[in-house]
Amino acid sequence: MSYDFDLVVLGGGTGGLVSSLIAAGVGARVALVERAKTGGDCLWTGCVPSKSLISAARLAHRMRHADAVGLPPVAPDVDFSQVMRHVRASISAIEPHDSPDRLRDEGVDVISGEGRFVDPHTLEVSGRRLSFASAIVATGSAPRTAPISGSDLSDVMNTDSFWDLAELPRRLVILGGGPIGCELGQAMGRLGSEVVLVEFADRLLSKEEPAASALISARLAAEGVDVRLDSKAVEIRPSDDRSRELVVERPDGAKETIPFDKLLVATGREPRTAGIGLQDAGVETDEQGAVVVDETLRTRTGNIFAVGDVTAQLPFTHVAAHHARVATVNALFGTRRSVDDTIPWVTFTDPEVARVGMTEEQARQKWGSRAVIARSDYKSLDRAVTEADRHGFALLVGDPRGRLVGATVAAPAGGEAIAELTARVKAGDKIDAISTTVHAYPTFAEGPSRAADDHLRQRYARRRYRIAARIAMTARAKLTRPAER
């Protein structure tokens, strides 16, 4: 049977863009269907704007604390509209790379409109039917709705509408102590908002090492962010000063009120799968609405694949791009490439929290006391001392044979340092290899290396190694002793 396209991609975010470009690059007939703007959440409401905001906030913070490096501290005159102009300028600078014009230049047929599957080989867009040999669902995710009641939610923002802010809120409440809540909470506090961060769990960044959670909680508190843990948002109601207040409930049933001018809900995202006809194509979704895929990203309908947030796997741009590289080749050529399970991620707080592989707790659960743990603190790292930025640590996790199976770098430039550790985990290298690899001095990348150095020192300080070393040195001394005259 002849089809209009070898591959149809539904969704123009990172997963869809990478899939389309790979397919076009190998000569496939490919259509990309996008209902709004290409670039997806990462470009318009996610990575690009948030990191631009964080950059401005970090500089404002450094200005206030310039005395740490011998300069007079300066209170920055923050013009929030100018900061947001910088955010928009960053988006504009990157937008052409993700634009329909660039895609068309590369051979992709870009079709604007709402796409809906009619059957396993047909997608309908604005009355037009596209037949395809294979398809990739890359519709991404949307912010979860506010888990609170109230008659007036006009000042409640989600992580999409947050970027429409024109003025800096004097009092900002953020629901959710995950990566987005922590990043934006710290940034907005540094820009001048009075921030209250409300988290239902007993710690921030609950998927990270407890020590990383404690570090970030302490840093936020030191900068004036009011961190409320074990707090459930219950209701929004009018307050006495004609603004509004959030009612939160503690585990013991006690209730507190928090006045605010704006409230940001950052409690996660959910897959965008409603209304795109997945059931008509025979594609299965789970109870959260995520597309069910196997390790090759194939759905139950063998010629349809799914990538990125819509699968409810790790919700990161680099994961969507990796998925696209796997799924596109499988979709076009019938191969069985599998998704890599060695995936790093970074929370861009200050300090950054970067992680790959197993945590210490996971390793202890699997191997008990035989798990190998190595740690170094950045308070004595030379580069951290020179930068007057001595907060953080590197933690290496090994199996009983000393092979690196996980790492956390909660420290300055942690996101850069995690790249080497990811490669080590993927290669099955031992922790020793990090120590014996030469790292440029002085760099933040020495942090994990020093943890590995400490691991080796502790190992060779054991009695059996010291005895063996003494025997070897004694034997060598005898062999090299000058002959008697």
Q: Please check whether residues 260 and 279 belong to one and the same domain.
A: no
Asked if the structure places residue 199 within a domain, the reply is yes
Per-residue pLDDT, 151: 61
Question: Of 304, 333, 362, which residue sits at a domain end?
Answer: 333
β-partners of residue 147 are none
Q: Please check whether residues 446 and 357 belong to one and the same domain.
A: yes
Q: Please check whether residues 22 and 86 belong to one and the same domain.
A: yes
Asked if the structure places residue 287 within a domain, the reply is yes
Beta strand extents in 215-351 (DSSP E only): 226-228, 232-238, 244-249, 255-260, 262-265, 269-271, 304-306, 345-347
β-partners of residue 87 are none
Low-confidence ranges of the chain (pLDDT < 70): 151, 461, 482-485
Q: Please check whether residues 262 and 312 belong to one and the same domain.
A: no
Per-residue pLDDT, 484: 58
Per-residue pLDDT, 475: 82
> Does the bond joining 448 to the residue before it have cis omega, within 30 degrees of 0?
no
Question: Of 209, 240, 267, which residue sits at a domain end?
Answer: 267
- pLDDT tens, residue by residue, 220-256: 999 999 999 999 999 999 877 777 899 999 999 999 9
Per-residue pLDDT, 145: 83
Per-residue pLDDT, 1: 74
Where does residue 273 rank: exposed (0-12), middle (13-18), buried (19+ CB within 10 A)? buried
Per-residue pLDDT, 100: 97
Q: Please check whether residues 171 and 310 belong to one and the same domain.
A: no
Give the C-alpha distances (Å, rounded to integers) separating 114 from 10, 16, 100, 123, 125. 9, 15, 16, 10, 6
Average pLDDT over the chain, rounded to an integer:
94
Q: Please check whether residues 82 and 136 belong to one and the same domain.
A: yes
Q: Please check whether residues 105 and 177 belong to one and the same domain.
A: no
Per-residue pLDDT, 459: 75
Per-residue pLDDT, 154: 76
Per-residue pLDDT, 113: 96
Q: Please check whether residues 32 and 47 belong to one and the same domain.
A: yes
Asked if the structure places residue 149 within a domain, the reply is no
Asked if the structure places residue 343 within a domain, the reply is no
Q: Please check whether residues 250 and 279 belong to one and the same domain.
A: no
Asked if the structure places residue 364 within a domain, the reply is yes
Per-residue pLDDT, 483: 60
CATH number of the domain at 201, please: 3.50.50.60
Q: What is the DSSP string of 127-164?
A: TEEEEEEEEEE---EEEPPPS-B-S--TTEEETTGGGG
Asked if the structure places residue 150 within a domain, the reply is no
Residue carrying structure tokens 């996790």: 397
Beta strand extents in 187-231 (DSSP E only): 194-198, 226-228
Question: Of 284, 307, 333, which residue sits at a domain end?
Answer: 333
Per-residue pLDDT, 303: 98
Residue 263 CA to its chain's centroid (Å) = 23
Per-residue pLDDT, 239: 79
Whether the CB-CB separation of 176 and 147 falls below 8 Å is answered with: no
CATH number of the domain at 368, please: 3.30.390.30
How many folded domains does the chain comprise?
3
Q: Please check whether residues 362 and 454 belong to one and the same domain.
A: yes
Q: Please check whether residues 17 and 125 belong to one and the same domain.
A: yes
Asked if the structure places residue 13 within a domain, the reply is yes
Rounded Cα distance, 475 and 318, in Å = 55
Nearest to 376 by CA among 414, 425, 420, 409: 409
Range of the domain at 134: 5-141+270-333
Asked if the structure places residue 228 within a domain, the reply is yes
Rounded Cα distance, 285 and 307, in Å = 13
69 DSSP assignment? G
Structure tokens at 234: 């219950």
Q: Please check whether residues 103 and 223 belong to one and the same domain.
A: no
Helix then strand then coil, in percent of the chain rounded to 5, is: 40, 25, 35
Residue 457 CA to its chain's centroid (Å) = 33
Residue carrying structure tokens 């409440």: 173
